[in-house]
Copies of this chain bind each other. A is one copy, B any other.
Amino acid sequence: MTNRKGTLIVLSGPSGTGKGTVLKHFFENYADDKIKLSISATTRSPREGEVNGVNYFFVEKDKFETMIENDMLLEWAAFCGNHYGTPKAFVDENLENGCDVILEIEVQGALKVMEKRPDAVFVFIAPPSMEELKSRIVGRNTETDDVIDKRMETAKWEVKNISKYTYAVVNDDIDKAARKLKTIVDAERLKVEKINLQF
């Protein structure tokens, strides 16, 4: 199994599907040390408790722009005045070392990665239904009606792109969804191109 290159697994889905929670549960319960979570770079300030190099790579805006110019990001986007992106180096070093890397990004970012990395595996975390998604977003009780409508608009566009993904996991139960993610990771390791057989 030496020399086996890792697999890039891109996880996305609409805001409110609980993809972050599924991923956290996966890493706490089902991951081994051969799979790493990609750490994003961001220009936003660290929130309380966030650690540089653990939650994010916190960088200044001009540093981020240099990263864009030097093609050091796999994808990047701007949200609420801040930049977020995926540093290539972390991803590629781990893949070369035979580790799988999971990337949690927005659907828009995932579509960009599909072009650049057709050998990656794309997992769509889907809500059981759009009604359920809406009630989850409403249930957070933190958003105005306008924001909720905007989110649902975006979510409708996002689910339309599901057929471009490799796998779909419906998140109706966090543990089940995390185990399905493990099944996908395990199966990808059995792909013939990932196995080093010496005959």
Contacts and interface: CB of A to CB of B under 8 A. Distances in A.
B183 A163 contact: no
A68 interface: no
Contact of A190 (B162, B163, B169, B197): B169
Interface residues of A, number: 29
Number of copies: 2
Chain B CB within 10 A, most for which of A126, A165, A192, A198: A192
A197 B126 contact: yes
Contacts of A129: 198-199
A31 interface: no
A57 interface: no
Interface string A160-188: 10110111111000000000100110111
Given A124-B192, A163-B192, A168 B184 contact: no
A130 interface: yes
